[in-house]
């Protein structure tokens, strides 16, 4: 459709029809499968508005989509097609590792390919918009949604944001891509205390420097949609924050796409105490810049009156509707309302071996080797080994946000290992968690489900005894532990980041046997492992690794693949160290300044993490030498050339993530002790030497002041290069 046709369509629509375009409802409203990830409340929307609703949430599958699309188009006076949007967060049917995992790959190119695959599968099934990427920077592992994030660093998150958006949108012209809807604007990841849906309070300098860059990167990468956050930012609900949505997102950054609220977040501004009623909330959200109201009755019940009694200029509604129509038109929905979906594509494009191979590769690159005492890994198939733990023979490796994936399509750790050691003895040893009252308190598990999850005391004791019995006969114990699916993801905040008591008991009992123990952890967040780390010889941190998890883990265990994952979030020693992140400001009394009381630490724990940002081991190791810069003083319009020499003197071919940080030594606003500005992932054969090159320009050295202005100040900068978050070489340069 030409632009002028869109305008005449808009002109011919009634006010009700226009409002309909701004309403998004879930499957239950269209008598199809309902996949609502949010509170289930009666919305009180009239059947008339249900018929006019312009988009659907999480209605997937070609037949479902076709059914709803046909019916809606028939119902609507102008037969306008609906948009189908869904949470395709890290895969559709082929599930990739969780984002916190795949960011540990430091491989944006591979992630782009993964998102292309996800878009290919989901578009075949009728999805047109992915509620992804989630690019909220997080400093606190208590927050369950850390699972969906790329970790604590704004530069790395921005880098992945760009490639995830490219991956989703690359194939839009062929109808095999998805519109990217980045979220949650803004700074949802900074909820106080890591508690879900809590408030966010940040200085402007902190907001602009640490939290906004990924969203800005998403706009620059051409994302066509943005989703607001459920939270307040400095006292204002993001969903009604005109400064955020209009002044920053639209005017300062030039975003001309469509803005959608998060699930019921327009209605929730009433609970926040920012609007009196539906009408007030509708006015404030639309006026702030929100085009589509996701799953709330506010636009349906509030907008019409606002226009008829003259409180809201109809042009505001026209602008929002035009953005929605334009998006539909850009996708060609007026000509082909099913977009790329067809039953044939759906049959042929899901879970193909090529997609599985990609998922496996990304899982392999995501897994982080945290400890490897006396080269406990890789294992030889000749070792006499057993596989123990609640994740041994368990297919639940997808994590909470893989809502369209199925664990029946997932390769378990046992299946993966059996390809190397077909007859490996295995025992569960214990449950994932045994606190039934905690499970009951979650409010979504039935008594029956809890009974299935928590074995009786007798059975649990038996499981432990069996595990000990088979382990006694072995030399090596592969022990699989971690978090349950429900423990991380949305509404999965928790205060205790340690493994549960029953799992620790299992480790303690097995460690008494004096065997080599390889600990495999499945989890959606950094856990506090200090109390178990000395009991085991090696730790592979596997996140929720997705459809090919078992194969990926086995390939690493047996050395077919050399681990190369590096952490993108700091790992605490104990839970109460949170929030914990590497790019913090300097204290006047750092822990290493002096011995004794008056330094910045806890009396019962150090201040530093157990495993820092950037950390991760490989089989063999690489040495860093000769960090050099081509000039010691440089001007604002020149570039510094940095080189560092890497030597792999081990017996293993390896892959190294070379990380480049800066520290601005003196500034108007004090600057982080370290800040990532670039990285390179390079391969080195055994005994190979390699020189790695970086260029730094002055725009990588800017910071934001407390009015949100970007500044570049002359002065001294440390240039820090290294690996493992620990081994670093430093040199200093002066900006004139």
| Interface positions with ligand NOJ (CB under 6 A) | 37-38, 57, 87, 131, 183, 230, 262-263, 490
Residue number, 183 or 681, with CB nearest to ligand NOJ: 183
By C-alpha distance, which of 291, 308, 309 is closest to 299?
291
Which neighbouring-strand residues pair with 719?
662, 731
CB of 41 to ligand NOJ, least distance (A): 14
Residue number, 230 or 554, with CB nearest to ligand NOJ: 230
In order of 311, 400, 486, 642, the CA distances from 444 in angstroms are 42, 14, 10, 54
Query: Which residues are CB-neighbours of 564 under 8 A, at least 6 positions away?
Result: 105, 365, 616, 618, 654, 655, 656, 657, 681
**DSSP calls for 93-149:** SSBPPPHHHHGGGT-HHHHHHHHHHHHHHHHHTT--EE---B------TTSGGGGGS
Residue number, 239 or 430, with CB nearest to ligand NOJ: 239
Rounded to 5 degrees, what angle do the CA atoms 70, 73, 76 make?
Answer: 150
Distance CA 102, CA 90 (A): 9
Q: Is-contact 556 367, C-beta < 8 A?
A: yes
By C-alpha distance, which of 254, 267, 257, 263 is closest to 291?
257
Residue number, 36 or 287, with CB nearest to ligand NOJ: 36
CB of 148 to ligand NOJ, least distance (A): 8
CB of 229 to ligand NOJ, least distance (A): 8
Three-state SS at 168: helix
Q: What are phi and psi of 166, to 5 degrees?
A: -60, -45
330 annotated active-site: no
Pairing of strands 654-664, 675-684: antiparallel
CB of 85 to ligand NOJ, least distance (A): 8
Residue number, 400 or 540, with CB nearest to ligand NOJ: 400
CB of 431 to ligand NOJ, least distance (A): 29
CB of 399 to ligand NOJ, least distance (A): 14
Distance CA 606, CA 168 (A): 42
Distance CA 50, CA 54 (A): 9
CB of 128 to ligand NOJ, least distance (A): 14
Three-state SS at 439: helix
Q: Is-contact 154 107, C-beta < 8 A?
A: no
Rounded to 5 degrees, what angle do the CA atoms 592, 593, 597 make?
Answer: 90
Identify the active-site residue in 241, 262, 280, 537.
262
Residue number, 37 or 586, with CB nearest to ligand NOJ: 37
Tell me which H or E stretch contains 664: strand 654-664
In order of 376, 412, 519, 535, the CA distances from 460 in angstroms are 29, 22, 20, 22
Both tokens assigned to 521: 């952890």
Residue number, 38 or 425, with CB nearest to ligand NOJ: 38
CB of 274 to ligand NOJ, least distance (A): 18
Residue number, 38 or 332, with CB nearest to ligand NOJ: 38
Active site residues: 262
């Amino acid at each position: 459709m030409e632009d002028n046709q869109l305008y005449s369509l808009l002109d011919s629509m009634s006010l009700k029809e226009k409002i309909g375009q701004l309403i998004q409802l879930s499957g239950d409203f269209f008598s199809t499968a309902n996949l609502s990830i949010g509170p289930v409340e009666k919305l009180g929307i009239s059947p008339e508005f249900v018929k006019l609703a312009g988009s659907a949430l999480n209605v997937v599958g070609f037949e479902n989509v076709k059914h709803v699309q046909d019916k809606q188009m028939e119902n609507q006076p102008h037969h306008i097609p609906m948009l189908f949007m869904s949470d395709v967060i890290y895969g559709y049917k082929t599930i990739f590792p969780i984002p916190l995992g795949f960011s540990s790959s430091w491989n944006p190119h591979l992630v782009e390919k993964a998102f292309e695959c996800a878009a290919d599968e989901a578009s075949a099934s009728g999805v047109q918009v992915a509620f992804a990427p989630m690019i909220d920077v997080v400093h606190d592992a208590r927050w369950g949604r850390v699972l969906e994030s790329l970790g604590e660093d704004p530069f790395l998150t921005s880098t992945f944001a760009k490639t995830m958006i490219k991956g989703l949108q690359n194939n839009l012209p062929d109808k095999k891509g998805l519109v990217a809807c980045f979220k949650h604007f803004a700074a949802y990841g900074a909820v106080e205390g890591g508690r879900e849906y809590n408030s966010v309070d940040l200085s402007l300098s902190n907001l602009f420097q640490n939290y906004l860059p990924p969203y800005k990167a998403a706009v620059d990468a051409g994302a066509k949609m943005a989703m607001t956050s459920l939270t307040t930012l400095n006292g204002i609900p993001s969903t009604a924050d005109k400064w955020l949505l209009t002044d920053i997102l639209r005017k300062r950054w030039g975003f001309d796409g469509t803005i959608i609220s998060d699930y019921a977040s327009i209605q929730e501004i009433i609970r926040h105490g920012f609007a009196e009623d539906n009408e007030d909330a509708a006015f404030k959200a639309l006026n702030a810049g929100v085009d589509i109201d996701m799953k709330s009755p506010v636009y349906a019940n509030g907008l019409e009156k606002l226009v008829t009694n003259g409180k809201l200029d109809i042009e505001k509604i026209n602008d929002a509707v035009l953005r929605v129509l334009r998006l539909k038109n850009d996708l060609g929905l007026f000509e082909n309302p099913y977009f790329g979906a067809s039953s044939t594509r759906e049959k042929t494009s899901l879970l193909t071996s090529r997609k599985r191979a990609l998922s496996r590769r990304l899982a392999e690159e995501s897994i982080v080797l945290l400890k490897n005492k006396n080269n406990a890994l890789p294992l030889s198939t000749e070792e006499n080994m057993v596989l123990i733990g609640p994740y041994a023979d368990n297919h639940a490796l997808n994590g909470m946000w893989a809502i369209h994936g199925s664990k029946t399509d997932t390769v378990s750790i046992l299946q993966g290992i059996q390809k190397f050691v077909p007859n490996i003895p295995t025992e569960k040893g214990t449950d994932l968690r045994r606190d039934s009252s905690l499970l009951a308190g979650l409010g979504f598990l039935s008594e029956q489900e809890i009974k299935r999850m928590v074995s009786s005391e007798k059975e649990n004791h038996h499981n432990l005894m069996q595990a000990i019995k088979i382990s006694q006969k072995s030399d090596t114990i592969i022990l699989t532990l971690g978090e349950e699916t429900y423990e991380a993801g949305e509404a999965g905040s928790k205060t205790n980041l340690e493994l549960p008591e029953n799992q620790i008991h299992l480790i303690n009992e097995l460690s008494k046997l004096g065997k080599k123990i390889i600990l495999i952890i499945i989890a959606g967040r950094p856990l506090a492992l200090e109390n178990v780390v000395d009991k085991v010889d090696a730790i592979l941190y596997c996140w929720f690794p997705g459809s090919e998890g078992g194969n990926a883990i086995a390939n690493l265990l047996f050395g077919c693949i050399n681990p190369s994952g590096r952490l993108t979030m700091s790992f605490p020693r104990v839970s109460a160290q949170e929030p914990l992140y590497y790019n913090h400001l300097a204290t006047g009394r750092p822990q290493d300044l002096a011995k004794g009381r008056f330094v910045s630490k806890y009396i019962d724990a150090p201040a530093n993490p157990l495993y820092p940002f950037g950390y991760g081991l490989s089989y063999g190791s690489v040495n860093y030498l000769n960090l050099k810069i081509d000039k010691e003083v440089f001007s604002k319009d020149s570039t510094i050339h940095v080189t560092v020499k890497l030597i792999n003197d081990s017996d293993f071919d390896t892959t190294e993530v070379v990380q480049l940080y800066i520290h601005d030594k003196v500034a108007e606003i004090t600057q982080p002790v370290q800040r990532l500005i670039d990285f390179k992932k390079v391969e080195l054969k055994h005994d190979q030497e390699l020189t790695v090159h970086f260029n730094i320009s002055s725009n990588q050295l800017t910071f934001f002041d407390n009015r949100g202005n970007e500044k570049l100040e002359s002065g001294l900068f440390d240039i820090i290069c290294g690996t493992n978050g620990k081994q670093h070489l430093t040199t200093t340069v002066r900006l004139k």
